[in-house]
Amino acid sequence: MKNQNVLITGGAGFIGSHVTRRFVTHYPDYSIVVLDDLTYAGNLENLKEIEHAPNYTFVKGNINDFEFVQALFQKHAFDGVIHLAAESHVDRSLEDPAAFVITNIVGTVHLLTAAKAAWKDQFEGKRFYHISTDEVYGSLGVEGLFTEHTPLDPQSPYSASKAGSDHFVRAFHNSYQLPVVISRCSNNYGPNHFPEKLIPLMIHNILRKKPLPVYGKGENVRDWLYVEDHASAIDTIYHRGKTGEVYNIGGNNEWKNLELVHLLCTIMDEKLKQASGTAASLITFVKDRPGHDLRYAIDASKLRDELGWEPSLDFPTGLAKTIDWYLANGEWLQHVTSGDYTKYYDKMYANR
């Protein structure tokens, strides 16, 4: 593919930072612009390794500010957009649904509108890639898998806002032929994951010898994928996915939360050289998440059959790599939990 200018929104977040690192290093001839508002979940320390790369530019800004977004599209002749910026945590969406409507729906519509205007309806060689989630399909019972044809049936304010943004992306394709592609991935895990989500929260609490809060009975099931495998799927779909299509991405790796937490505890005991059962003794059952989706599981056969993508890591290997990263990056963990990571931006951008 020819050299490109690519906008990655949400590139300072968990998944976005892995996607950005991959694009900056794999495609040295591309020019990569990250747009991120550095909310509590955005952290420039996630992009430290590539911050001086000549093909990378960071722009701090909010996708909810239409004039700003439009000016950014006018300044850079983007060929493609990979849109990851979002409010991403279900528990937070239960506290403040409107924030999710504003960023996830309104922010997405601003980006779609700015792309359409900047491309002046000349869409040859252009691509708007929207990163969605399997949660838009709602919840499964004990059997079955989400396919790309499963009707959207979101159950939480987070997933409702993501489903809303999916509908707008599809509407821009249907109404204006904007060349969009959408992927819907299952739960990610790996380095740089903010410790409000299950796996990094448990690792952090085991390190601090704090209770490990399992919602309800821990019987809910998630399908886990290593974040670098998600980034490789995004690379594949960005370059080879068919315009107008939806691709599911999954790990074929279902775990009940309680079993996952036990596996994590076993690996942590080994890594920390502590007696077997030490970490598991911290497990505490707490009040369930309201409206807690029982099970997510993805059928990713379309992506495998059409584009040849498959996950590369098995779960115990991926979990061990993740734990090693957290053990080696205590400073990162300390900064995100104390809020000190916000100082990094001030230091890096004080004179710009």
Enzyme catalytic residues: 134-135, 158
Phi/psi for 29 (5° steps) reads: -90, -5
What is the nearest approach in angstroms of ligand DAU to the Cβ of residue 5? 27
Q: Candidates 76-84, 130-138, 167-175, 331-339: pick the segment binding ligand DAU (CB under 6 A).
A: 130-138
Binding residues for ligand NAD restricted to 89-108, rule: CB under 6 A: 103, 107
| Paired tokens of 225 | 């994928």
Is 187 a binding residue for ligand DAU by CB under 6 A? The answer is yes
What is the nearest approach in angstroms of ligand DAU to the Cβ of residue 83? 14
Binding residues for ligand NAD restricted to 305-324, rule: CB under 6 A: none
- What secondary structure letter does DSSP report for 287? P
Angle (CA) 138-234-317 rounded to 5° is: 85
Is 12 a binding residue for ligand NAD by CB under 6 A? The answer is yes
Pairing of strands 221-226, 254-256: antiparallel
Smallest CA-to-CA distance from 19 within 190, 219, 203 is with: 190
Is 162 a binding residue for ligand NAD by CB under 6 A? The answer is yes
Phi/psi for 152 (5° steps) reads: -70, 130
Query: Between 126 and 222, whose beta carbon lies closer to ligand NAD?
Result: 222
Spell out the alpha helix ranges (H) of the chain: 14-26, 66-75, 90-95, 97-100, 108-118, 157-176, 198-208, 227-240, 257-271, 301-307, 315-328, 330-338, 341-349
User: Which residue of this chain has its Cβ atom nearest to ligand NAD in the complex?
Assistant: 13
User: Which residue of this chain has its Cβ atom nearest to ligand DAU in the complex?
Assistant: 133
Q: Candidates 11-19, 90-98, 119-127, 259-267: pick the segment binding ligand NAD (CB under 6 A).
A: 11-19
Is 62 a binding residue for ligand NAD by CB under 6 A? The answer is yes
Is 194 a binding residue for ligand NAD by CB under 6 A? The answer is yes
Can you tell me the distance from the alpha carbon of 345 to that of 135, in angstroms, rounded to the nearest whole number? 32
Can you tell me the distance from the alpha carbon of 337 to that of 331, in angstroms, rounded to the nearest whole number? 10
Is 129 a binding residue for ligand DAU by CB under 6 A? The answer is no
Residues that bind ligand DAU (CB under 6 A): 88-90, 133-135, 186-187, 197-198, 201, 213-215, 220, 222, 257, 289, 296
